Amino acid sequence: MTKIVDDPETFASAALAGFARVYGRHVRLVKGGVVRSTAVPAGKVSVVVGGGSGHYPAFAGYVGPGMADAAVAGEIFASPSTAAVARVCRNAHHGGGILLGFGNYAGDVLNFGVAAERLRAEGIDVRILTVTDDVASAPADQHLKRRGIAGDFVVFKVAGAAAEAGLSLDAVERVTRRANARTFSFGVAFGGCTLPGSTEPLFTVPKGTMALGLGIHGEPGIREMDIVPAGELARLLSETVLAERPAGARRAAVLLNGLGATKYEELFVLWGAIADRLEAAGVDLVAPEVGEYVTSLDMQGCSLTVLWLDEELEGLWLAPCDTPVFRRGEAFRTEPAPVRDGAEDEAPAYGPASDASREGARCLAGILGAVVAALGEAEAELGRIDALAGDGDHGQGMRRGAMAAREAIDDAVARGAGARSALAAAGDAWADRAGGTSGAIWGLLLRSWSSAFSDETAFGDADVVRGARAALDDVMRLGGARPGDKTLVDAFVPFVEALEAAAGGGRSLQEAWRQASDVCEAAARATAPLTPKLGRARPLAERSIGHPDAGAVSLALIAQTIAGRL
Amino acid sequence: MTKIVDDPETFASAALAGFARVYGRHVRLVKGGVVRSTAVPAGKVSVVVGGGSGHYPAFAGYVGPGMADAAVAGEIFASPSTAAVARVCRNAHHGGGILLGFGNYAGDVLNFGVAAERLRAEGIDVRILTVTDDVASAPADQHLKRRGIAGDFVVFKVAGAAAEAGLSLDAVERVTRRANARTFSFGVAFGGCTLPGSTEPLFTVPKGTMALGLGIHGEPGIREMDIVPAGELARLLSETVLAERPAGARRAAVLLNGLGATKYEELFVLWGAIADRLEAAGVDLVAPEVGEYVTSLDMQGCSLTVLWLDEELEGLWLAPCDTPVFRRGEAFRTEPAPVRDGAEDEAPAYGPASDASREGARCLAGILGAVVAALGEAEAELGRIDALAGDGDHGQGMRRGAMAAREAIDDAVARGAGARSALAAAGDAWADRAGGTSGAIWGLLLRSWSSAFSDETAFGDADVVRGARAALDDVMRLGGARPGDKTLVDAFVPFVEALEAAAGGGRSLQEAWRQASDVCEAAARATAPLTPKLGRARPLAERSIGHPDAGAVSLALIAQTIAGRL
């Protein structure tokens, strides 16, 4: 149970700052993450990893020669914002492109994915590597749908070694994907962790039992069984992981990982039995690791990870590295990195813009002001709707995001930005400050919409309609939600279709928008079926049936607010 | 809570074996501990550390170039046996003598101390270094009475670096003593750990409170207070440790240590505030460490350790090292150590012995056989007496120890050993197999007694009496108990005095022994006052008033048994 806290709100950032203070030899703190404090050869591929906090040494403890160039850290168990990912990546880029590695979770997929798009737009070649090692989370034929758990460590080790060896981005991406495809983990939980500021664990496992197939964010597992002796647990873990052994695979990097409160002596007892079983199955254990590599605060449990090696992977697994928590082989000769003056906090530079486009930016700023006012009034109601299915912070997040967006667009307008740049800046600010999935979605929505505008010319009605379609496409492509998943998409699709139809039918933007907003509102309300429908694909959807979706309601509210301003 | 167990009885040894299997590059398993698996220069001082298990990475995780040469591991939170310490030391000796380092606990002081005497008798120069860093356990003017907690790590780091640098045993001892004298720790506990096989923690701290002055064997602390925010906890720890800052001390090695279930992010949050406070107090932080270095299974808590550096200590603190858990500076070029064939399990070699002395050994073996029989009959009764004050395993331990001693002496007799060697072997076997303090005491008692005998000549009555005195002196000197402490000493002192008086007065050994045994039995029974006497110096004595002491009763039983055989 987390006992050492000043303010739960700032716990994750305080922990990261304290970490950077101990390991200044390895890392330098930037906003939202850490980058290597040692010089890196120009042109080297950068490996940037990350995810929520609470998993130390994942991910900041992996930064150093031979492994990661930087780590992005969100709040406890929450994805870092798109802006944080992008910011840390810019600080960690050395001209060779970036491999962006993270575990497969919706929030991370969204934020890292959007950040990658943004960085690509800036001319940085970014590849995405999503770790999918947890065999409990999807069947063998859907490997890429699995969650990432302790496999993060072995996959990132391979990626870091490949980049350190001077491989091209293509080659680093290729070998890391192969590593991920050959990495399999399975774990058990004996008890849940307690978040900073909470007094109760995220979950409990009934006394004398354990949960199979743990997650690392307080997910308890997929089924429970009675606790078994260490030898039997070794059998269970080994057999489950061995079940997906590729044909001919013999040599393996193996990691027995403790989640935080299952301690070293227990892991060593278990390791003896696991090593026996793996060796009996003809596995050659190559530099195995036993310890805490991906934790979940003070969660009780452990997992077994096997990365099946080939010759290239074995060389990379064994290659030297020197990070705060993991050192292998020869020492690296490092020098402090040159200071990048102000690389982090410099104000955005806006390119030249026409008067007409600046006028458009001012108009958009006015609209965002109205949205802030409307969301402020609706905050409590949105929170109430959200609390029926989620954690009730949707109204707060929307208001905070919209306020950040308005501040950003006001600043952009004051500094002469055109409509396209100003709206993009507003989106980035929303994503950075609101947090959570809805913050990322709204940041993406505004930035994508802005792509239909220009800084040279005024935007016309058709540009607005095109922007709506671009925003919808990106939200669906990067967010991954489909109509019927009970998200904002359920209201956004009919909105855009209605807008396009009305505008295509010759209506004015004002009238088309008004019609589309009414359709949108009706669709948002209709996300609440009167009777529960079971058997949907997404667990979240199952939890939230029976009332409207807060994200869809927010969208309708904003659409109606804008309709009143046009 | 410990959940991964096969058999609680073998938990510690299974954990050590599993550890050695992961870290074969660093260590080789020997019975009762691990030694470096890499070659060590001949003549280098060996640093051997140890204590109970359950503290990983203390102590096995410290073995490697630049730090320890070997680690001895007892059962969970229990001192290793004298024989284990001696055995591991023999495996780790490279001709330069041994610095034997351990935390200041009665069982360790006894077992390591007796082992040191035994090794010295074999011609190995051994120095004892007891770590005494815990400021909560004794006042500043009694530094050497303090317990050893996380200070173990920093003191052993200094010792290992000094030995690696090629310093003489004198010099290693001197600088390590200075390091210990300049090391101060203070900790807090939020909750107790759970022993393997138990379902309840060793102690609990009331919800919302913390215990100040923790121990690392499940000792909860010296007083409780409400949990404070991280910043306030930083103040409490820093000010307590700074209170004993030596005049002029400015540069310090600092360790913020987690006990097991107080996790990394919490430690980093705390570290930020501690670093602020120490820097504000003018302390230069030299390569500080934050993490798990001396744990107590899954105990919740942390401690702050400061080692005040001078120039020599700073060089040693910063010197390279490469252990399973702690690596600093340049890599070491190591080669596998040559295999010491059978160094561990070879049967004891007995020197030549006269027929007369062999006859004496046979006689002693017969007596030990009678002792085993008597202890077997009395096992339950001894356990019952012990359970009134202790954990009730005294009878079991005495029987196990005596059986091991009889097996050893039978083996020695069969291989032609003289009386002195045979009795010494019996003592060693007793200490090695019985465990606990009483096992160590009985092993010491027999071995010391044997010193009055010889392998060349038969022993006479006077030798037996001299042996009794030697045994008593060693038990008091190394065991540290005084008459009135309610231990075996309360019965042993009157026994030896009566034996000496009667023998000096011209009685036969048979008669003198009989008289002394009666005195002994009366004294043992008298360890049970009819009314409690409070205010004794030793807490254990306070707990055990009101019934006879099991150790004294055992002694009397054995004395009477022998009386019947003479």
- C-alpha span between B83 and B32 (Å, rounded): 9
Q: Give residue B406's pLDDT band: very low, low, confident or very high (50, 70, 90).
A: very high
Instruction: Tell whether A360 and A501 lie within a shared domain.
Output: yes
Q: Does residue A495 lie in a domain region?
A: yes
Instruction: Name which of B37, B101, B85 is nearest B65 in CA terms.
Output: B37
Q: Does residue B340 lie in a domain region?
A: no
- Pick the last residue of a domain from A293, A319, A345: A319
Q: What CATH number did the domain enclosing A190 receive?
A: 3.30.1180.20
What value of ipTM does the predicted structure carry? 0.88
Interface test with B, best of A209, A269, A274 (most B CBs within 10 A): A269
- Pick the last residue of a domain from A292, A319, A346: A319
Residue B9 phi/psi, 5° resolution? Answer: -65, -35
Residues 6+ apart with CB under 8 A from B243: B135, B140
Residue B302 phi/psi, 5° resolution? Answer: -160, 165
Instruction: Name which of A206, A295, A199 is nearest A255 in CA terms.
Output: A295
Instruction: Name which of A432, A434, A437, A440 is nearest A401 in CA terms.
Output: A434
pLDDT confidence of residue A59:
98
Residues 6+ apart with CB under 8 A from B56: A263, A264, A265, A268, B15, B19, B295
pLDDT confidence of residue B187:
95
Which residues face B131 on adjacent strands? Answer: B103
Across the interface, whether the CB atoms of A265 and B191 are under 8 A apart is answered no
Size of the A and B interface in Cβ pairs below 8 Å: 183
Instruction: Tell whether A390 and A502 lie within a shared domain.
Output: yes
Q: What CATH number did the domain enclosing B152 receive?
A: 3.40.50.10440
Q: Which of A26, A217, A394, A547 is catalytic?
A: A217
pLDDT in tens, B144-160: 999 999 999 999 999 99
Q: Does residue A76 lie in a domain region?
A: yes
Instruction: Tell whether B181 and B263 lie within a shared domain.
Output: yes
What percent of chain B has a predicted confidence (pLDDT) above 70?
94
Q: Which range (A21-25, A432-436, B525-529) has the least confidence? A: B525-529
Instruction: Tell whether B169 and B272 lie within a shared domain.
Output: yes
pLDDT confidence of residue B390:
67
Q: What CATH number did the domain enclosing B388 receive?
A: 1.25.40.340
Instruction: Name which of B63, B322, B258, B153 is nearest A56 in CA terms.
Output: B258
pLDDT in tens, A137-162: 999 999 999 999 999 999 999 999 99
Instruction: Tell whether A379 and A512 lie within a shared domain.
Output: yes
Q: Please return the burial class of B43, using the count of CB atoms within 10 Å of its CB with bins 0-12, 13-18 and 19+.
A: exposed
Neighbours of B564 (CB within 10 A): 12
Q: Which of residues 265-294 of B touch A (CB under 8 A)?
A: 265-273, 275, 288-290
Residues 6+ apart with CB under 8 A from B247: none
Instruction: Tell whether A396 and A507 lie within a shared domain.
Output: yes
pLDDT in tens, B328-383: 998 888 888 887 654 555 566 788 999 999 999 999 999 999 999 999 999 999 98
Total tally of structural domains belonging to chain A:
3
Instruction: Tell whether B407 and B280 lie within a shared domain.
Output: no
pLDDT at A532 over 70: no
Residue A453 phi/psi, 5° resolution? Answer: -100, 180
Q: How far is CA A357 from CA A3, A175, A416, in A?
A: 53, 46, 10
Tell me the DSSP string of B434-481. H-HHHHHHHHHHHHHHHTTS-SSS---HHHHHHHHHHHHHHHHHHH--
Instruction: Tell whether B124 and B230 lie within a shared domain.
Output: yes
Q: Does residue A425 lie in a domain region?
A: yes
pLDDT in tens, B187-234: 999 988 888 888 888 888 888 899 999 888 767 677 889 999 999 999
Q: Does residue B349 lie in a domain region?
A: no
Instruction: Tell whether B74 and B200 lie within a shared domain.
Output: yes
Q: Which of residues 443-502 of B touch A (CB under 8 A)?
A: none
Q: Does residue A476 lie in a domain region?
A: yes
pLDDT at A293 over 90: yes
pLDDT in tens, B228-277: 999 999 999 999 999 999 999 999 999 999 999 999 999 999 999 999 99
Q: Give residue A534's pLDDT band: very low, low, confident or very high (50, 70, 90).
A: very low
- C-alpha span between A316 and B342 (Å, rounded): 38
Instruction: Tell whether B398 and B476 lie within a shared domain.
Output: yes
pLDDT confidence of residue A533:
32
Tell me the DSSP string of A131-150. E--BTTSS-GGGGGGSPPST
Q: Does residue A332 lie in a domain region?
A: no
Instruction: Tell whether A556 and A512 lie within a shared domain.
Output: yes
pLDDT confidence of residue A215:
83
Q: Give residue B542's pLDDT band: very low, low, confident or very high (50, 70, 90).
A: very low
pLDDT confidence of residue A383:
86
pLDDT in tens, A431-480: 888 877 888 899 999 999 999 999 999 999 999 999 999 999 999 998 88
pLDDT at A487 over 70: yes
Instruction: Tell whether B26 and B115 lie within a shared domain.
Output: yes
pLDDT at A543 over 60: no
Give residue A412's identity as a one-letter amino acid code: A
Q: Which structural domain range is residue B251 located in? A: 8-322
Determine contact, residues B551/B527, Cβ cutoff 8 Å.
no
pLDDT confidence of residue B431:
87
Q: Alpha helices of A300-354 — where are they, by DSSP H?
A: 311-318
Q: What is the mean pLDDT of chain B?
A: 91
pLDDT at A225 over 70: yes
Residue A227 phi/psi, 5° resolution? Answer: -60, 135
**Cβ contacts (< 8 Å) between B270 and chain A: which residues?**
4, 18
pLDDT confidence of residue A535:
27
Q: What is the mean pLDDT of chain A?
A: 91
Instruction: Determine contact: B145 vs chain A, CB below 8 A.
Output: no
**Cβ contacts (< 8 Å) between A233 and chain B: which residues?**
4
Q: Does residue B330 lie in a domain region?
A: no
Q: Alpha helices of A105-229 — where are they, by DSSP H?
A: 106-121, 151-164, 169-181
- C-alpha span between B255 and A185 (Å, rounded): 34
**Cβ contacts (< 8 Å) between A210 and chain B: which residues?**
3
Neighbours of A379 (CB within 10 A): 17
- Pick the last residue of a domain from B322, B339, B370: B322
SS (H, E, C) A339-353: CCCCCCCCCCCCCCC
Determine contact, residues A12/A74, Cβ cutoff 8 Å.
yes
Q: Beta B46-53 vs B70-76: how paired, if at all?
A: parallel
pLDDT at A544 over 80: no
Q: Give residue A204's pLDDT band: very low, low, confident or very high (50, 70, 90).
A: confident
Residue B57 phi/psi, 5° resolution? Answer: -75, -10
